[in-house]
Structure 1
Amino acid sequence: MKTDRFTAFFAALPALLLAAPVSAQTAGQNPAGSGPIVNALSWIQGTLLGNVATAVAVIAVACVGFMMLSGRMNWRFGATVILGVFILFGAATIVAGIQSAV
């Protein structure tokens, strides 16, 4: 059973390494007629990453940290909240890293 998986992996490896991007895709351009959708998503992004959201996130992390230190919150749940804030504010950097790797 294990040898079948390894054989399939090594058989597919050249196809994965030699894959090229499709030339029909336009990089960095929005499709025609998507202006209102792009504007709405930009507004949502600005709301989620703006000054008010940053202040709320700082207060939330401070409260969670204080509750974890005082023993009133489970450490796993507190770490999940803090990790979620890092992912929310680091999403643009994470996506840019994934795109540059591809």
Structure 2
Amino acid sequence: MKLRPNSRTLALSLLMVAEAGAAHAQSAALDPSGSGAIVSAVGWIQGTLLGNVATSLAVIAVGATGLGMLTGRIDWRRGATVILGCFIVFGAAAIVAGIKTAASGTGL
């Protein structure tokens, strides 16, 4: 019996080839010249979005959402969406680090 690859196995093999090529491309140019200004600008944006003001706003949002859920003014699905969104925003650095570790194939 001859086995023919279906679309799922074909897609997985193409994904593996693309990941290998992307890993090779990343190792070739990790930090291109002239990117210092962009890196510092992104660092400033990250500090602004995850700083004291953003933390205070997230605490107020979670508190207001919890109060609204407690009184029945906000349904549980919308409340869970707000709280999950806060986790994603503040855990974004850890999430990306985990994805990069998984993509590179190296352990912790």
TM bucket normalised to smaller: 0.7 to 0.9
Q: Supply the AA of the counterpart residue of 1:7.
A: N
Matched, 1:22 2:21: no
Q: Supply the AA of the counterpart residue of 1:94.
A: I
Q: 1:89: Cα distance to partner?
A: 0.2
Return structure 1 stretches of 4+ with deviation > 3 angstroms.
8-15, 17-20
**Which one is further off, 8-17 or 51-60?**
8-17
Q: Tell me what 2:106 maps to.
A: none
Q: Secondary structure of the equivalent of 2:6?
A: helix
Aligned-pair identity in percent equals 55
* Cα distance in 2 between the residues matched to 1:60 and 1:72: 14
TM-score scaled by length of structure 2: 0.73
- Unpaired stretches in structure 1, ≥5 consecutive residues: none
Q: Tell me what 1:64 maps to.
A: 65
Aligned length: 97
Q: Tell me what 2:78 maps to.
A: 77
RCO higher in 1 or 2 (8 Å CA, sep ≥ 6)? 2
Q: Secondary structure of the equivalent of 1:19?
A: helix
RMSD: 2.6
- Unpaired stretches in structure 2, ≥5 consecutive residues: 104-108
Q: Deviations along 1:51-96, whole A, 9 cap, x unmatched?
A: 1211111111011011111101122111111111100000000000
TM-score scaled by length of structure 1: 0.77
